[in-house]
Structure 1
Amino acid sequence: MVLKVKWIDFKSQIDKYIIEGEVLLEKYKSSRSEEEFTELKDAKQSWENTVISFVKKSFEPEHINFAYEFRAQKGYNLGMKLGVDQKIKNTIQALKDEINGLNYYLKILFISDAIVRPDEIDLNERQNLDTDGILDLILSKLYDLYKDGKYHSLNLILEGNGVKLNGRSEDWDYGRMLENRGFIECMNGRNVNAKLKLEGKYAIEQARKRQVTDYSKISSSDEELKELIKQVLSEIEKLGYGQQIIFDEFDELREDIPNLDKKSFGQLLKAKLYDLVTQEAFDKAIASEIFKQFTDQILPF
């Protein structure tokens, strides 16, 4: 399964659906009547259908399992034996779960290279990673998910990044190896779920500091760089990221162009993108897309 549309556009649309869902929560959170319950149910179903239709058609082949994965699976009782207050409460909670599910879905997709950015990786190389390579990949992706503090399926991470497991317990073995090294904490069940520990976070940060970014693809033309900055600002403004700090940072970058070689420009761009993510002007996905437009490289976090 591969994303057919640009990641930045897909994420922007899902973010809009999340906002629409939150509007429904706000609108009906104080509802008490049977009529309002019916309106809430209908509005929720319409919202669900819109989200499901968009997601299914955004992938090749269509993501036909998304409907089951997306709709709240906790089995909230909405039957006639409940009072209307409880039915509304259960429906609201189911909607909250679906909104949270969409947020998590975006996080997992963002770190799934084989689905979101297959043209930017060597899938054959991924499929033939040795043990050290697979362990490094797991740590790297858990690092990208570190801030939410949750456990994440190793199987899901590996499959989303083009790694096929050879046996049922292989994810358990990888988890055990990393846990024994003190890098992750595992929660074992039918599938192995893990989260990064501080030791693992530190190991990834040290490894990434040693990475050398290739800035050779950056344009040598000052005018081309200035035009690209203009295009980037236009794109992110259309996506709803219009904070003044973004424009200020890129204005400074544009003014410095005549004094910078490729490497210096790339390093300054990277620093500004890190700062903007830290200040929550936009997220890592947007920053990575911007960095790629200038350098044809993935921005390491």
Structure 2
Amino acid sequence: MNIIEKEADSFFRFELYSGVDSLNAIKSIIVSKLYDFNRDRDKLDFLKILHEKTIEAKKKHPENCTCSFDKSRNVGLFAIEQEIESINSYYTFNAKSVDSFTIIQESKLHSMLNEMAENLKKLGYGQEIIFDEIDELKSHFNLGKHNWFQLVKGKLFDIGLAYGVEKLVLEGMYSDLAKEVENVIPTFLN
């Protein structure tokens, strides 16, 4: 269990719902605790753990109970979801510099994605949605090499399932992209 998980567990058990059930009180408690974290990623992880724990607690609580347990947990979920949405509105993930693409790599991959779309069109896979999926990859280089290639795998796998594009074609596309970037394993099904 990492520090964020320990903090979330302790906060959930001893502070979050300790005798309060108003939106103002719960939101105030959450916002105060978020000041302990400098990184937005840590805040999001913390809030997501609280969200999960609150849902679990609601499932375990008897449905026909008339206490204020469900009311406070519903208010808590609302406050937690608001905070998550608020942070997500300005937070963007940035990869560590060792995992970041260079401008040259981004440019080369951008061109290769265009070539992939053209090759799919030549092979008879002319569905616009396939090209939209491939174009979307161009806007996610900020994820870093590892995460971007995981996204590529997922998109190519989805394209294969949804549109019947042959596995060998998709594997070739993936390995062509991977050859352009160092420190990436050039196999499709790892």
> Which of the five TM-score ranges fits, normalised by the shorter chain?
0.3 to 0.5
Q: Hey, which of these two has a bigger chunk of helix by percent?
A: 2
TM-score, with structure 1 as normaliser: 0.26
Larger relative CO (CA 8 A, sep 6+): 1 or 2? 2
TM-score, with structure 2 as normaliser: 0.40
Q: Hey, which of these two has a bigger chunk of strand by percent?
A: 1
